[in-house]
Amino acid sequence: MGKSMVESKIVASVEKIMPHICPSIEEREGSMLKYERYNFQLAFCYQGESRMLMSNKVQVSGTLAPYLELRVVGLVPVTVLPPKMDDYYLSDTVGVFPDLLKPFDKADLVLPCKQWRGVWVTVYAPEGLPVGTHETTFTLISEKGETLAVLKHNLEIIDAPLVDGGLRLTNWVHYDCIAHTHGVRLFSRAFYKIFKEYLRVYTQGGYNMLMTPLFTPPLDTKIGGERLTAQLVRVKKTGEQYTFDFQDLKRFIRFALKNGIKYIEFSPLFTQWGGVACPKIIATVDGEERRIFGWETPSASKEYMRFLDAFLPQLGLVIDELGIRESCYMHLTDEPGIDNIDAYEQCRNMVKRYIGNIPIMDALGNPEFKERGLVDVPVSGITYFDKFAGCDTSKMFVYNCCTAFNNYYSNRFINMPAQRTRVLGVQLYQTGVRGYLHWGFNFYNSAYSVEQISPYSDTDSHGTFPSGDAFIVYPAPNGVYGSLRYEICKEGFQDCNALKLLENYIGKDRVHDMLEKEGVCGYTKYPRDGRWLINFRAKINQMIKEYVVYHKK
């Protein structure tokens, strides 16, 4: 069989390779800064007569070969679409879409007849790559050892390090989902073995802030229901007195810091959507473990206030013992409405007495919480970011979720174009925010955590969220697999850092002038073309290179 039976292309990472659409954003060369991850794709389409070609491999040659990771792009089902869609989606119907990235040692490349399939190529080295332009050759080999296709790619490594630009990035990890999916007891030795792999992927994706469960996070839980207990503070109640054991919490935080986490956000002290009740808290009472707080306990109850009176001063001592006070954030609730503002103020005043200068951060839809001084770090949804126009954006976070589906808002739904996901990085820079939050790194539960789901077959939490909203990685036998969306989000964060680096060289005003001329404004206005983003990033790289070369003369 000759290689002409397989059509092949090298495709930029901003195009998702759909099975029945010939990819159009070809890439034969590119550039990257040191210490960043660079991605592109190999696209193949078998044009022969048989049903498929099985067990194909890709051989790599060139100086960058030791620094390349190749993964098979897998298709996943998209069965729930946003309720209203603009015209910047890959499709407005359900179907299968590329997302899962699986290593070749776990999966061969199968080429069905007359369908395009992709191989994701990641170039990365923690210690930096050799500077200069490198040609890499990719040879597609059949099961019988025949050469089916040969592709060449040139990549320039620019002698300028892409360093952390200061963004604080969090994507909530759901610890009960790790325990359920991998069959381990929470916070056991077996759990930490798996969790280390999750943290490796988490931090490699750019995330540097970690949701830390003091008590079972009261998030995405049915009112009156419970999630699996994920409590790091052990509580003992004797009469009306409370004592606390923080050893599990200290172990968790030290483990996180050792594995790349820089900032800690503590789980909410009150329930989601307004803080009307208490989180589930388990305590040892008269030698028996039982739940002492939950949905049945109002957040402002005297009993819970007495508990916090005892708990928060002790937590402060632990924070100071670990030396992390300047790196901590505290949540009170999540997405409180304006009807909850008075109750929120009462909760804040009580908590703030004890936590001092640790900032309170929460997702909000109304700037009045900030205007009344109730939230130190407001986290605005990008869909209502303009409402916070009077706030200092350098002290704000933003988030997106299932509600950012129309008006060209950036999001990470599986049926969105890759560029629509990646452009968020440019927007984070242009709006000058402090950080970015997303609620679902690995939410493998149905809505309200009533039951568990398999993300391989259920990408929408039993029909609740647009496919892809609830998670961005897939569980693997001994860890976690990445996704196209995970890599694309990382590229967006790198774009933000590259703009910050360029700002150091040419000044903030010039960079913002560039963005204005390119048509970037806020979270809805940007050129809706993947080629634009590739070319714009190449332009940034070239400007950085010229500055570095000039100052080295």
**Distance, CA of 200 to CA of 253 (rounded, Å):** 15
Task: Return the pLDDT at 549.
Answer: 72
Q: Is the pTM of this model over 0.75?
A: yes
Angstrom distance (rounded) from CA 421 to CA 427: 11
- The verdict on 234 and 283 lying in the same domain is yes
Can you give the CATH number for the domain in which 313 is found? 3.20.20
Does position 3 have pLDDT exceeding 50, yes or no? no
SS3 312: helix
**Alpha-carbon distances, residue 118 vs 42, 55, 482 (angstroms):** 6, 14, 15
pLDDT above 80 (res 78): yes
Please report the DSSP string for 457-502 in residue order. T-SSTTTTS-TTSSBSSEEETTEEE-BHHHHHHHHHHHHHHHHHHH
State yes or no: pLDDT of 524 exceeds 50.
yes
pLDDT, tens digit (0-9, with 9 covering 90-100), for 405-421: 999 999 999 999 999 99
Mean pLDDT of 152-165: 95
> Residue 519: inside a domain, yes or no?
no
Residue 4 is predicted with a pLDDT of 63
Residues 432 and 536 in one domain: no
- Residue 381 domain flag: yes
**Per-residue pLDDT at 74 exceeds 70:** yes
What is the C-alpha separation between 275 and 362, in angstroms, rounded? 11
184 in Cβ contact with 190 (< 8 Å) = yes
- Do 191 and 146 lie in one domain? The reply is no
Q: What are phi and psi for residue 438, nearest 5 degrees?
A: -135, 150
Do the Cβ atoms of 231 and 177 come closer than 8 Å? no
Quick check: is 45 in a domain? yes
pLDDT at 1: 47
Q: Rounded CA gap, 343 and 285, in Å?
A: 29
Residue among 120, 83, 82 nearest 413 (CA): 82
At 468-507, the pLDDT tens digits run 999 999 999 999 999 999 999 999 999 999 999 999 999 9
Q: What span, in angstroms and rounded, lies between the C-alpha atoms of 544 and 548?
A: 6
Q: 361: which 2 tokens?
A: 């951060």
Distances (CA, A) of 408 to 320, 412, 523, 539: 44, 12, 8, 24
The rounded mean pLDDT for the chain is: 96
Specify whether 125 is located in the same domain as 254. no
- Any domain includes 435: yes
277 and 376 in one domain? yes
- The answer to whether 124 and 491 are in contact (CB under 8 A) is no
Q: What is the CATH number of the domain that holds 112?
A: 2.60.40.10
Backbone angles phi, psi at 496, to 5 degrees: -60, -45
- What whole-number distance in Å separates Cα of residue 432 and Cα of residue 435? 9
Residue 105 belongs to some domain of the structure: yes
Mean predicted confidence (pLDDT) in 357-379 = 95
Residue found by looking up tokens 């060209």 in the block: 408
At 294-349, the pLDDT tens digits run 999 999 999 999 999 999 999 999 999 999 999 999 999 999 999 999 999 999 99
Dihedral-angle region of residue 446 (phi above 0 means left; psi in -120 to 50 means alpha; beta otherwise)? beta
**Looking at the structure, do residues 324 and 395 belong to the same domain, yes or no?**
yes
pLDDT tens, 212-263? 999 999 999 999 999 999 999 999 999 999 999 999 999 999 999 999 999 9
Question: Using CA atoms, how far apart are residues 142 and 149, in angstroms rounded to an integer?
Answer: 10
Count of all residues that appear for the chain in the document:
553
| Residue spans of beta strands (DSSP E) within 105-196 | 109-112, 116-123, 132-141, 147-161, 168-171
The answer to whether position 515 is within a domain reads no
Q: Are strands 474-476 and 281-285 parallel, antiparallel or unpaired?
A: unpaired
Q: Residue 269: its pLDDT value, please?
A: 98
Residue with tokens 């190529």: 121
Among 504, 520, 543, the domain boundary falls at 504
Residue 521 in domain: no
Q: Are residues 54 and 103 in the same domain?
A: yes
Q: Are residues 445 and 468 in the same domain?
A: yes
Say how many domains are in the chain. 2
Q: What is the mean pLDDT of residues 91-109?
A: 92
At 552 the pLDDT is 67
Half-sphere exposure of residue 5: CA atoms within 13 angstroms, side-chain side? 17
For the chain, the first-to-last Cα distance in angstroms comes to: 54
The C-alpha atoms of residue 530 and residue 547 are separated, in whole angstroms, by 26
**Beta-carbon contacts of residue 433 (< 8 Å; ≥ 6 apart):** 393, 394, 396, 397, 398
242 is written with which tokens? 């409370």
Helix or strand (DSSP H, E) at 176: helix 175-182
Give the E-state strand segments of 208-338 in sequence order: 209-212, 234-238, 241-245, 263-266, 281-285, 288-293, 328-330
**Token pair belonging to 388:** 């916070």
Confidence band, pLDDT 50/70/90 cuts, at residue 274: confident
Question: Do 108 and 205 reside in the same domain of the chain?
Answer: no
Q: Tell me the residue range of the domain where 223 lies.
A: 168-504
- Note the pLDDT tens digit of each residue in 27-41: 999 999 999 999 999
Residue 2 predicted with pLDDT over 50: no
Q: Are residues 353 and 242 in the same domain?
A: yes
- Let me know whether 146 and 242 are in one domain: no
Domain annotation covers residue 405 = yes
Do both 156 and 174 map to the same domain? Answer: no
